[in-house]
Amino acid sequence: MQYAFLAYTPPEETDRATRPIPGALADLFDQPDVTGWARLHAHESATTLRNDEGRMLLTDGPFIDSKEYLAGLILIEADNLDRALAIAEGMLQETRPGTAIEVRPVLAGHFRGA
Amino acid sequence: MALDAVFRDQWGRVLATLVGVLGDIELAEEAVAEAFAVAAERWPHDGEPANPTGWLVTTARHRAVDQLRRRQVLAAKTKLLARDIETGPQPPEPLMDDTVSIPDERLELVFTCCHPALALEAQVALTLRTLGGLSTDEIALAFLVPFETMSKRLTRAKHKIRDAGIPFTVPPDHQLPDRLAAVLSVVYLIFNQGWGGGRVDLAAEAIHLGRPLADLMPDEPEVLALLALMLLHDARKAARLRDGELVPLDGQDRSLWDTRQIDEGRALLRRAMTQRRTGPYLLQAAIADLHLYQPRDWRQIAALYERLARRTRSAIVEMNRAIAVAEIDGPEAGLTVLDRLDLDHYRYFHSTRAELLRRAGRDGEAHRAYRRALDLAQTEPEQRFLAERLAETARYDRTEHDTTGR
């Protein structure tokens, strides 16, 4: 099965774009289980387009207004939820305190090489 | 055995096997329900087959194939299943002989249903439905929620298991302690709901769930201890109420205690103790056992509660220790322990406190504590019991008001 990890992290002081992915985490992204990943700019960079009964509304900022922001998407292949959770746990250990990973089974998708 | 009893007995076993084959609880449930309906029609005149489990599993598998064909979905799965049946050791008609043994997959099922990725209330409902064989109606009734709510809760849980890929498996060793604790807490939660006196005997259901777990995990002391604990508590059921009134343990008619159940509980407790690993259920079962002796060994009871409190950091355990302390060193000593606890929301805290206050001769305070307990009481016998105590202490309350008013 394919799972998507949605990683939420608390706000930080330093500029995210200038910080590299921590080495241990980068190694985990290189595992064969990981089929794709995307690290996102902090939520100040977000723009939300919303379908309001046919009218397209454009707003500045992320859709979900919370302290934590969506920092990345990781796609993995795992036999079942337990295995997916184990992978997520390994990654979470290499993140800053307060980070959370939401694990979602992928219903369908098409992933081109990056 | 009466047909109903056979069905109750077989439901979890047969369903677990079908979930193992089909990989989907909803499909499996439909197929098993159909097989049971066929059995209800045929067994009364054909006689019960030699191997009812085998018969039901085979019939359910055939029904599942039919169902899948009818639906024209999951084509690959149908082929797989059909091939499995053709090559498997099944006679054409479901007339299985008793030499065919079917692996018992109830453990896989219970670990699936009590997976921490499901909400606790969903785990509880699903376990009662799949392993316990209770109908959605009965579960709704037991938890006092509308049928629609319970039905949705069950469906959502089954869909999450399917869509999120919650595995149908016994967790590996490094995960087993946590996951087993989750299973046991679901069973114990069901048992404790049973003490509320609802229309479905949930205590009996929890024991019914505990038995196969103890059979299938004979080397897990906590599994044995939980069953022991439930049996020892439940053995006093008939004596706990007299004419609709709650009877405290010391006033209970011991001839009403179920000695067979006590013996069984004690034997399980002894077996659990030989494993030399002490867990919270083992301590609780040992305490439950000590409570059955006359006179009670309050020192040992207090010592076990202390160990349990250290382990669980539970204020309710501390409250129970306070009762034992009061028996050893007097009510004031018990009250000293109680007054350190933050249990204002808990109804038994107030009734316990009231009782100790009354014994300490602080009747005015006892009266107010009984009133608070009565406000929080949930069942009728509890309310009646507390109302009586409230009336008993009423005059003291007035006296105290008089004295303070003066």
Per-residue pLDDT tens for A24-37?
Answer: 999 999 999 999 99
Strands A55-60 and A47-52: antiparallel
Q: Which amino acid is at B37?
A: A
DSSP state of A113: -
**In 3-state terms, what secondary structure has residue B366?**
helix
CATH number at residue A22: 3.30.70.1060
Task: Please tell me which residue, B85 or A39, carries the higher pLDDT value.
Answer: A39
Is A21 part of a structural domain of the chain? yes
Say how many domains are in chain A.
1
Give me the pLDDT at residue B398, please.
53
Task: Say if CB B12 and CB B32 are below 8 A apart.
Answer: no
In angstroms, the first-to-last Cα distance of chain A is 21
- B150: enclosing H helix or E strand: helix B147-164
Give me the pLDDT at residue A67, please.
86
Residues of B in contact with A85 (CB under 8 A): 117
Q: Is the ipTM of this complex over 0.90?
A: no
- A107 to chain B: closest CA residue: B163
- A15 contact B CB<8A: no
Interface test with B, best of A3, A76, A81, A87 (most B CBs within 10 A): A81
Residues of B in contact with A104 (CB under 8 A): 164
Is A112 part of a structural domain of the chain? no
Could you give the CA distance from residue B16 to residue B1 in angstroms, rounded to a whole number?
A: 22
Q: Do A105 and B166 touch (CB under 8 A)?
A: no
Q: Do B171 and A85 touch (CB under 8 A)?
A: no
pTM, to two decimals:
0.83
pLDDT band at B403 (very low <50, low <70, confident <90, very high): very low
Q: Do A81 and B163 touch (CB under 8 A)?
A: no
pLDDT band at B3 (very low <50, low <70, confident <90, very high): confident
Closest CA to B375 of B390, B362, B360: B390
Read off the pLDDT of each residue in B203-213 and give the average, rounded to a whole number. 93
Q: Do A82 and B167 touch (CB under 8 A)?
A: yes
Give me the pLDDT at residue B119, please.
94
- A82: enclosing H helix or E strand: helix A81-92
Task: Please tell me which residue, A114 or B61, carries the higher pLDDT value.
Answer: B61
Read off the pLDDT of each residue in B135-162 and give the average, rounded to a whole number. 93
Backbone angles phi, psi at A55, to 5 degrees: -90, 135
Read off the pLDDT of each residue in B148-162 and give the average, rounded to a whole number. 95
- B166 to chain A: closest CA residue: A81
Closest CA to B300 of B274, B271, B324: B324
What angle is formed at CA B235 by the lines to CA B305 and CA B277, rounded to 5 degrees? 40
How near does any CA of chain A get to the CA of B164, in Å?
5
Is A113 part of a structural domain of the chain? no
Is A74 part of a structural domain of the chain? yes
- A104: enclosing H helix or E strand: strand A100-105
DSSP state of A44: G
Is A6 part of a structural domain of the chain? yes
Give me the pLDDT at residue A14, please.
79
What mean pLDDT is reported for chain B?
A: 88
Give me the pLDDT at residue A71, please.
92
DSSP state of A49: E
How near does any CA of chain A get to the CA of B218, in Å?
25
Give me the pLDDT at residue B69, please.
82
The DSSP bridge partners found for residue B286 are: none
How near does any CA of chain B get to the CA of A43, in Å?
28
Q: Do A79 and B171 touch (CB under 8 A)?
A: no
Per-residue pLDDT tens for B253-298?
Answer: 999 999 999 999 999 999 999 988 899 999 999 999 999 998 999 9
Give me the pLDDT at residue B81, please.
64
Domain assignment of residue A21, given as a range:
2-105
- A85 contact B CB<8A: yes
Least confident of A91-105, B78-92, B221-235, B364-378: B78-92
Residue B73 pLDDT greater than 50, yes or no? yes
Give me the pLDDT at residue B76, please.
60
Give me the pLDDT at residue B74, please.
56
Give me the pLDDT at residue A18, please.
84
Residue B78 pLDDT greater than 80, yes or no? no
What angle is formed at CA B49 by the lines to CA B47 and CA B54, rounded to 5 degrees? 155
- What percentage of chain B exceeds 90 in pLDDT? 67
The DSSP bridge partners found for residue A77 are: A2
* Torsion sign, CA atoms B171, B177, B180, B182: negative
Residues in chain A: 114
Is A114 part of a structural domain of the chain? no
Give me the pLDDT at residue B402, please.
46
Residues of B in contact with A103 (CB under 8 A): 164
Task: Please tell me which residue, A57 or B93, carries the higher pLDDT value.
Answer: A57
| Token reading at B172 | 């590996």
- A4 to chain B: closest CA residue: B164
Q: Do A85 and B165 touch (CB under 8 A)?
A: no
Interface test with B, best of A77, A80, A82 (most B CBs within 10 A): A82
- B160 to chain A: closest CA residue: A105
- B111 to chain A: closest CA residue: A82
